[in-house]
Chain A
Amino acid sequence: MTTENTNLWIWRNIRMRIPADWEMLQFARSADEGRCAFADRYRFRLELSWRATAGSPDLERTISDYAAKLLEQTKRPPARLACGPWYGLQCERAGNGGPLPTSEADASDTTRFARFLPELRCVVEIVFLWPDGREQPLEETVLDSVAAEPQHDGRQRWRAFGMDILADSGLALTACRVEPASAEMLFADESSGTAERFARRGMVSEWLKEPVSDWLQRQAPDDAEMTVSTQHDRGHEISRTAGRIRGRGLRGKLSRTAWREAAAWICPADGRLYSVSRTGPRPASTDAELFGRRLACCREVAP
């Protein structure tokens, strides 16, 4: 397994490389505790979970306790594994390790690993399912690639659902809506009224019946005063809008004016519509990097 046939995935500041044909089908938004699960076309293959901890936990003891529990349940002693900083266990023909009845066709070996990521102060656990037997090189590729993603000039990087995102570090992932051919991630901070929205939409010819610039304008609230522009960059035609959002009537006069800027384009590499918008206090300088830096779609514009 080489990096060419793997994809980089980044979530909650955890980065990992996974085979290109594995897709994330389940995810959690919480920074404190959560899990993401990946599947090939036939079944789940990998689960990554995280749990924030104050300090480094005693993983040696945790894994021993867990091995004892597995032994009690399956009557077969799990094998201990070591891979760099990871503490691991191998359980044969699990499916099987759990209490639910599983057919032989569904059964698979599992390997489980845990480690502490000091930069993120969290414990990361990974479960692999090996329906056709353990693939150690692939396992090592994935485990070796797990690391903390550093901050990028005060921004947090996320890479999932075909999007490469740099969101403001002060914002939390507050919504993530994923449907066939549509993924949208919203990062927001209610106290400052700032929100950043990143989206990728497919099957564009089926629903987009107007120029991208018109579509982008329609995404703005009714009370927004937007200017629209279009430019070309690295083979992409990017539509941009920027302007104030002023509340209507007395409320608009009393409340703070918000600033909104957005960009949208259709990536020629995959034919999907990418959009990014930022709403909040007007920044000191207008962010001209929505395209490419804040949201990247393909290798041509990858950060």
Chain B
Amino acid sequence: MKAPEKNISTAGTWRKMLAARLIHNAAARVEQMPDSRVKVYVKTVRPWFLVPPLSWVLPLRRERGTVLDRLGTQVWNLCDGNRTVENVIDEFAAAHRLSFHESRAAITSYVQMLVARGAMAIVVDE
């Protein structure tokens, strides 16, 4: 038999992650695009070295925009701050006839990208 450390018994549960809520960055600006997509603008932080005269020749964009595709927009709209990650996964799965873990893999990787870009935050209730 396998040593205990090499099997699934040491893997944790996803319960805490699934109970978290996803909220939009309150400072983000959302622009509706004509084809039911959205573009999310997040304010950028000025780097410490970007001061005059360097900033005169290297202008800083005040916002960084991310265009969400149709599916991304659906995820964005589901993340309203009230739904838990589990709710979002379930609703996305039902809408696209996916299994729970198919939906979970798709949602979590997409949300990770949105969080990395500062468009979204994860609230974990202790």
Contact = CB atoms under 8 A, between A and B. Distances in A.
Nearest to B11: A44
A180 B105 contact: yes
B50 interface: no
Contacts of A66: 1
A47 B7 contact: yes
Contact of A270 (B1, B97, B100): B97
Given A23-B99, A94-B4, A202-B102, A100 B10 contact: yes
B52 to A, nearest CB: 48
Contact of B14 (A42, A97, A271): A42
B9 interface: yes
Contact of A271 (B15, B97, B100): B97
Contact of A49 (B2, B11, B18, B102): B2
The listed residue with most B CB atoms (<10 A of its CB), out of A62, A63, A99, A203, is: A203
B102 A180 contact: yes
B98 A99 contact: no
B14 A73 contact: no
B101 A114 contact: no
A109 to B, nearest CB: 9
Contact of B18 (A42, A108, A127): A42
A270 B8 CA distance: 31
Categorize the interface residue count of chain A.
Answer: 35 or more
B8 A44 contact: yes
Interface string B68-101: 0011000000000000001000000000111111
Interface in B1-34: 1-5, 7-16, 18
Contact of A98 (B10, B18, B70, B106): B10
Given A21-B100, A23-B99, A43 B4 contact: no
Contact of B71 (A49, A129, A206): A206
Contacts of A181: 96, 98, 102, 106
A102 interface: yes
A114 B11 CA distance: 21
A209 interface: no
B13 to A, nearest CB: 4
B18 to A, nearest CB: 7
Contacts of A62: 1
Interface in A72-115: 73, 89, 91, 94-100, 102-103, 105-106, 108, 110, 112, 114
A301 B5 CA distance: 42
Nearest to A99: B5
A258 B103 CA distance: 39
A42 B15 contact: yes
A127 B8 CA distance: 8
Contacts of B96: 181, 202-203, 206
Interface of A: 21, 23, 25, 37, 39, 41-44, 46-47, 49, 62-63, 66, 69-70, 73, 89, 91, 94-100, 102-103, 105-106, 108, 110, 112, 114, 125, 127, 129, 131, 179-181, 202-203, 206, 270-272
Given A49-B2, A129-B9, A206-B96, 4 more contacts: A89-B1, A99-B5, A105-B16, A114-B1
